[in-house]
A = this chain, B = another copy of it.
Amino acid sequence: MFNKETEYALRGLVYIKLQNLKGRRPGTAEVSKEIEAPPFFTAKILQRLVRSGLLESLKGKGGGFFFDPEKPELQLVKLVSATEGDRSFTGCGIGLKYCDKANPCPLHEKYAPIRESINNLLSEETVQSLAQKVHKKEISLTNALK
């Protein structure tokens, strides 16, 4: 589905939002540990998200990562665009230069609707909506062996 960077970003952002709800601002060490992702890589990914304006951060004592309450919820499609680029879920299923329903590949008829449902999912869900699910239900961000 997603590449590693997107997976870590997704889990990390949901964890950060979840902590924000509790009035906390987690740092890289805490985030990486809680989402079971490589520490330095997690730090780099969070940095990139801040630079691209999807996340806020504060240095120094009491610093960490948080979401700007002023900004609208972060749609997953925005996140994926930032980490994997726009072309992720727009291309042809068998790799033609572009997907053209007027000149479709043999997979188009069945694949195009699936691709659309993925795009719907990515538009509907946000980091905040996912955090809400974790917050309310018994739903998790990790599932370590045993």
Residues of A within 8 A of B (CB): 1-2, 4, 7-8, 10-11, 14, 91, 93-98, 100, 103-108, 110-111, 114-115, 117-118, 121, 124-125, 130-131, 133-134, 139-145
Contact = CB atoms under 8 A, between A and B. Distances in A.
Contacts of A11: 94-95
A143 B96 contact: yes
Copies per complex of this chain: 2
A48 B137 CA distance: 46
A110 B139 CA distance: 14
30 contacts: A1-B91, A1-B93, A1-B111, A2-B94, A4-B95, A7-B95, A10-B95, A11-B94, A11-B95, A14-B106, A94-B141, A96-B140, A96-B141, A96-B142, A96-B143, A97-B143, A97-B145, A100-B143, A103-B143, A104-B140, A105-B141, A105-B143, A106-B133, A106-B134, A106-B141, A107-B125, A111-B121, A114-B114, A114-B117, A114-B118
Contacts of A145: 97
- Please provide the 7 A-B residue pairs with the shortest distance between their CB atoms, ordered closest to farther: A7-B95, A106-B130, A106-B133, A96-B143, A10-B94, A110-B121, A1-B93
